[in-house]
């Protein structure tokens, strides 16, 4: 057996903020897997060529982050059913027999964090999702499988929200709109799935959609508060939380696809709570 570690990584633009190398490094150590995990900052123009080059040089698997998730779904040779439904890919695995397999573990990551880590019951809840990019595509199916009462998708570009709502209308009560169309009553759960937090911004949304029982979840993660979690706290939301748990849970599902083992996520969550 070779001592050379198997090569993995995450492709995004930007990607320097990613904690995935830390997380997969901890998973590899805990499960005694010999692998290396690196960051690859690749622009949309170079995405296809560079990703194919990485796999040609022996890379075994990649995570895909913003803004490439839809482009990744078009690049792979085969999609898992959940990635097919999402038309977005956050994990690519190279298998000798199927070449490049595209999967989407974002939905499992989010629902595991909401339900298992945060103890939230999703059934019958009114949910607002801000954003209509690759991440939303990945989480809509698994959220709608929980039999939510309704899901509103609001986006800066309203047509993208409406298109997504139409694509998922067979799974439940889903509608799409722009931020200016948002009204009360307060939602049970508001998920910020825009990339605004990465630029220190937040979507222009009205205060009346948050009540004292509303859980506000920012998929973005980083040290301290995001503009969205600060906004939620200022409105006395029941909870204002960031996407660390989703990040770790979706990573564990990617690791399972690549290595056949689902690592324990709790030690990594505890380490991130100490370091991040
Ligand atoms: P994406 O495909 O590039 O989509 C970006 C979305 O953000 C679009 O809906 C875009 O609206 C919106 N947006 C960008 N800047 C904005 C601003 N200043 N104000 C309002 N809306 C803005 O990105 P993605 O892959 O969906 O990722 C979205 C976010 O989720 C990122 O912060 C990412 O890090 C995070 N994420 C976290 C996890 C996790 O595990 N915690 C997993 C996946 C994603 P337009 O359509 O109008 O351009």
31 token code pair: 């499960």
Which residues surround ligand 1 with Cβ inside 6 Å? 66-67, 69, 106, 109, 131-136, 155-157, 160, 193-199, 201, 203, 219-221, 243, 246-247, 250
What pLDDT, in 10s, does the model give residues 137-185? 999 999 999 999 999 999 999 999 999 999 999 999 999 999 999 998 9
Cβ neighbourhood burial of 252 (10 Å; 0-12, 13-18, 19+): buried
The pLDDT score that the predictor gives to residue 276 is: 63
Where in the sequence numbering do the catalytic residues fall?
Answer: 69
What tokens does 243 get?
């996407």
Total-model pTM: 0.96
Residue nearest to atom 2 of ligand 1 (CA): 133
- Nearest one of 209, 161, 158, 202 to 183, comparing CA atoms: 209
Residue 13, pLDDT score: 97
| pLDDT, the chain, mean | 96
Ligand 1 pocket: which of 13, 103, 111, 133 to mutate (most atoms within 8 A of CB): 133
pLDDT at 236 exceeding the cut of 90? yes
Residue-wise pLDDT for 186-195, tens only, equals 999 999 999 9
Instruction: Output the CA 131–ligand 1 centroid distance in Å.
Output: 6
Examine the pLDDT at 86 and tell me if it is beyond 90: yes
């Amino acid at each position: 057996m070779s001592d050379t570690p198997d090569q993995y990584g995450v492709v995004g633009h930007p990607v320097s903020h990613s904690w995935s190398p830390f997380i997969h490094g901890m998973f590899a150590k805990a499960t005694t897997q010999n692998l290396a995990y690196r960051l690859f900052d690749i622009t949309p123009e170079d995405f296809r060529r560079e990703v194919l080059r990485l796999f040609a040089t022996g890379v075994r698997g990649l995570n895909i982050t913003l803004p490439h998730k839809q482009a990744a779904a078009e690049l792979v040779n085969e999609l898992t059913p959940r990635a097919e439904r999402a038309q977005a890919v956050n994990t690519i695995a190279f298998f000798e027999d199927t070449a490049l397999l595209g999967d989407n573990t974002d939905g499992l990551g989010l629902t595991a964090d909401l339900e298992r880590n945060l103890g939230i019951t999703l059934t019958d809840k009114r949910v607002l999702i801000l954003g209509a990019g690759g991440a939303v595509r990945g989480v809509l199916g698994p959220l709608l499988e929980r039999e939510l009462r309704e899901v509103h998708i609001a986006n800066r570009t309203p047509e993208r929200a409406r298109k997504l709502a139409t694509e998922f209308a067979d799974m439940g009560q889903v509608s799409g709109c722009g931020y200016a169309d948002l009204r009360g009553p307060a939602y049970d759960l508001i998920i910020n799935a825009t990339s605004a937090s990465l630029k220190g911004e937040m979507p222009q949304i009205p205060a009346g959609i948050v009540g004292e029982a509303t859980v506000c979840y920012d998929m973005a993660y980083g040290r301290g508060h995001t503009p969205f979690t600060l906004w939620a706290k200022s409105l006395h939301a029941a909870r204002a939380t960031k996407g660390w748990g989703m990040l770790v849970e979706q990573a564990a599902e990617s690791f399972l696809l690549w290595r056949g083992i689902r690592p324990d996520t709790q030690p990594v969550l505890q380490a991130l709570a100490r370091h991040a």
